[in-house]
Amino acid sequence: MRYSRQRELVLNQVLARCDHPTAEQIYSALRPQCPGLSLGTVYRNLNGLVEMGRLRRVTIPGQADRFDRTLAEHDHLFCRSCGRVVDVQLERAALDEACRACPDARIEWYSVNLVGVCADCRAAKQN
């Protein structure tokens, strides 16, 4: 893929954040410094960066896709209270065992998204 200033801006925006931003959040953050940027261009560049292996897509059913800068194996918790996506590290052995429960299938990769209430929201509710 050829170099693109807009692609570099999109990538750097995701790399600078740890909140798993949506395409719309990235677009809003970049618009002041790149007025000619369109939301479609942000989506195209995000999709290309995911295909290139530079970013991960986090898909939460019923929500906009999020984009993750962390490429190492990990999973996510979607907080249904505040809407944040938080990195979690699940026990890989248990997940591998779950994959073995499908002996006729060839599992190539997996992604686990948990849905619940994050620690911050739980703490706030208890106070």
**In tens digits, what is the pLDDT along the chain, a chain of 127 residues?**
677 899 999 999 999 999 999 999 999 999 999 999 999 999 999 999 999 999 999 999 999 999 999 999 899 999 999 999 999 999 988 888 888 888 888 888 888 999 999 999 999 988 7
Domain shared by 9 and 63, yes or no: yes
Domain shared by 12 and 61, yes or no: yes
Structure tokens at 123: 């703490």
In our burial notation (b when 16+ CB lie closer than 10 A, e otherwise), range 67-79 reads bbbeeeeebbbbb
Element at 12 (helix H, strand E): helix 5-15
Domain shared by 39 and 82, yes or no: no
**CATH number of the domain within which 85 lies:** 3.30.1490.190
Domain shared by 101 and 47, yes or no: no
How many C-beta atoms lie closer than 10 Å to residue 117's C-beta? 15
Distance, in Å, from the CA atom of 15 to the CA atom of 13, rounded to the nearest integer, reads 6
Block residue for tokens 């979607």: 78
Distance, in Å, from the CA atom of 7 to the CA atom of 17, rounded to the nearest integer, reads 16
Domain encompassing residue 41: 5-68
Domain stop point among 68, 96, 117: 68
